[in-house]
Structure 1
Amino acid sequence: MSQDSYSLMRGGLVHRLLHASGALHGSRRLSWWLAALLVAVTLLPLVGLASAQGMLLPRPHAMALLGDYATLARLLLALPLLVLAAPRADALLHSALRQLSQASLVHPRRQPRLQALLATIRRLRDSRWPELACIVLAFLPLFVQGGVVSLLSGVPDWRTEGGATTPAGHWYAWVGMPLFRLVMLLWLWRFLLWAMLLARLPSVGLTLHAEHPDRTGGLAFLGVAHERFSMLGAAGALVLSGACLNHMTYLDASLYSLRHLLAGYVIGVTLLLLAPLLLLSPILIRARRHALYRFSALGSRAAAAFDQRWRAASEDTAGSESLLDHNDASAFADFSAVYQGTASMSVVPFTRWTLLGMALPALAPLLPLALVAMSVDDLVAKLAGMLI
């Protein structure tokens, strides 16, 4: 099969356009060039247009372009982050899909089911209609809202002047925001494809081993690959952090008043991104239950045989034979370790480290807000008071 057969990213309308332009053959660092191009197209014209109207540098009682932290976070940080993270995410997802086909998780007689499922996902990935829908959705708010951009109430903004939208505001509304929405929607479409794969994977008929060392029946690699979608949470957190910084700077909002919003975002986006993995829980529960039934019966026989050998050794008054001369004790200890491992098997294909790997990218961009809310000296003093 071709290199793209197990890829979620290398397909679709946008990929075909890049392939037709020759961009996919011209550079090994395409994502860096593409990120730089998107930043240049979305941000550099804004700088020129805002400078021409005198709204580039921060000024009192008005929000200039370089003082609009939400816009800067969206176009200068979140947009290139999503572009740069795509190749690394695709590499790990590619490895996970390949492992599904090559590992012993699927019986040879059921391989046609798995290949049919992967072929369905590839057909959806390569279809032009989902990405055409993403393009339409990226521009739809312009026609629904009439091109009006959202502003902070009562704060003069670089996007408007005299009640009319400025040239910089028009560029942001017609170029900057649609491009950001498009990249975000393309990521969401890939996330939906991955969720569809996980949802239909149990119907293939996986052969799970409850005693697998990864404590998830052999599916831990899916949780590791799933972590790559944490970039969606990180991009959203960057935009949220910029928006909160605008409210704290221009509307005198306190970090304390925003605490529920920030905590709700981190918890909500982490649970939302982890939700597709929960679709595998039913087969993991069945595998664990059946293994415990099987090992419980085997354990009863092993315990009875061990007890019988122990009694025989204890009643051997001549002392010619000891229990330690046999491998029964070692074998019983090994069986006990396998049973304990099976009993502690997780019924979700991720660990606490996977959970942490999804939550931290959503949390890290929000931490600088604490430095804005209080000085470094106050922050150090509070930390020292808590630790000492």
Structure 2
Amino acid sequence: MRSDLTLVTRRAVFFSLLAWLPLLVLSTIEGAALGQVVTIPFLYDFPVSVRLLIALPLLILAERVIDARTMESVRHFARSGLVEEKNFREFRSMVRQTLRMRDSFLAEGIMVAVVIFGTAFLRLELSGSSSTWQILVFPSGATRTMAGWWHVFVSLPIFQFLMVRWLWRYLIWCWLLWRISRLDLQLIPTHPDRAAGLGFLGVAQAKFGILVLAFSSLLSSHWGAEILLRGVSLYDYKMMILGYVVLVLFVLLAPLLVFSSRLFEVKRRGLLEYGALANRYTWTFDRKWIRGEAPEGEALIGSADIQSLADLGNSFQIIQEMRPVPIDLWTTIVPMAAFTVAPFLPLALTVFPFDEIVKKIIGILL
């Protein structure tokens, strides 16, 4: 397992440097890495560096984390008894088909073709009124720099391929969840996770927040560049940030809604069944201990009856607290929100000085 992690880490570092380091070298050779030769030097183009040094390796490292958690969740369906033995064949067929689609060379070939098409037909047009590290503008026309060509034909395609690949893998995961939700799952209303035994799915879904961290970092770098280089205020983006957070949470949480109808039904049935059981038991308890029908010499204190009554009450309370979706505030929503918002926090320094933030935090703590 450690060797797999090391391999993925090396792959992330390799592709990140392959995409970014030649840009630095070529732009330095052309005199466009720093200085006044061009309007936007390479090292001032923050979004590019964030995309290739942070977002790109995160997209690669996420594969190790997300695949491990999602496959563990799939195995848990069988190990926990959620999928009955009579449905094992259908369940395994679903999983095998999903893995074939996920690892399909044909699918990845189509992705490569889409990326190449986008590069060849959508990004070769030169535009801009001032010179940058990618494009030099002259009175006679514009020409792309060596760093610009590397960015168009190597750096961007690598990043775009990873994005398209993750979109495909996420759609496959959503499709698998939908198919599993159609099975006759053995959901228990009194399960302590308050989700009839499906609470583990919320934890697994939260791992996709690593992808959001990559995209949020990229978006934050774009807005940060606008703030630092063009004087735009962070307040101009507050509604966009809020809308982005809401959209991300919806996209990540929506796949779990496929279990809602089943959970509603399990809760409804559980309340009825355990309500009927509670009626019978409390009626018997009342006759025995309140109406004086207990056997002579038997004491209430220490009797198993009182403990059973408490256990029944706890079970009924768990059913009442069942969630309509396998989503928990602390194990699902909070991690997702943290991954989404964290890259935007440095932008707050453009509005509030760092020392002022520290003083306020100290004041709150003390």
TM-score norm. by structure 1 comes to: 0.85
The offset of 1:320, in angstroms, is 5.1
Match of 1:308 in 2: 287
The 1-side partners of 2:297 and 2:127 are apart by 90
Task: Classify 1:27/1:334 alpha carbon distance in 2 versus 1 (closer, same or farther; 3 Å).
Answer: closer
The 2-side partners of 1:366 and 1:287 are apart by 40
The 2-side partners of 1:355 and 1:156 are apart by 44
| 2:223 counterpart of 1:244 | yes
| 2:89 counterpart of 1:112 | yes
The 2-side partners of 1:159 and 1:370 are apart by 30
Q: Give the number of equivalent residue pairs.
A: 360
| 2:137 counterpart of 1:159 | no
Match of 1:220 in 2: 199
Question: For structure 1, which runs of at least 5 residues remain unmatched after alignment?
Answer: 4-25
The offset of 1:218, in angstroms, is 0.9
The offset of 1:383, in angstroms, is 5.0
SS in 1 for 2:291: helix
- 8 Å contact kept, 2:189–2:267: yes
- 8 Å contact kept, 2:5–2:64: no
Give the alignment partner of residue 327 of structure 2, picking from 350, 369, 373: 350
TM-score norm. by structure 2 comes to: 0.90
Give the alignment partner of residue 314 of structure 2, picking from 329, 337, 345: 337
| 2:232 counterpart of 1:232 | no
1:139-196 per-position Cα deviation (integer Å, ceiling 9, x unaligned):
3332442424787xx7642111113322211211111111001112222222111101
The 1-side partners of 2:302 and 2:70 are apart by 51
| 2:347 counterpart of 1:369 | yes
Match of 1:13 in 2: none
Counterpart residue type for residue 112 of structure 1? R
Counterpart residue type for residue 118 of structure 2? P
The 1-side partners of 2:336 and 2:127 are apart by 30
The offset of 1:363, in angstroms, is 0.9
Counterpart residue type for residue 358 of structure 1? M
| 2:50 counterpart of 1:73 | yes
SS in 2 for 1:142: helix
The offset of 1:28, in angstroms, is 6.2
Match of 2:107 in 1: 130
Question: For structure 2, which runs of at least 5 residues remain unmatched after alignment?
Answer: none
The offset of 1:88, in angstroms, is 2.2
The 2-side partners of 1:327 and 1:101 are apart by 35
The 2-side partners of 1:214 and 1:156 are apart by 58
| 2:235 counterpart of 1:260 | no
- 8 Å contact kept, 1:141–1:147: no
| 2:360 counterpart of 1:360 | no
Counterpart residue type for residue 143 of structure 2? A
Counterpart residue type for residue 279 of structure 1? V
The 2-side partners of 1:134 and 1:61 are apart by 35
Task: Classify 1:44/1:290 alpha carbon distance in 2 versus 1 (closer, same or farther; 3 Å).
Answer: same
The offset of 1:59, in angstroms, is 4.9
The 2-side partners of 1:114 and 1:196 are apart by 13
1:102-125 per-position Cα deviation (integer Å, ceiling 9, x unaligned):
221111112122112112212312
Q: Percent identity?
A: 32
Match of 2:17 in 1: 40
1:272-305 per-position Cα deviation (integer Å, ceiling 9, x unaligned):
1111111111111111111111111111111211
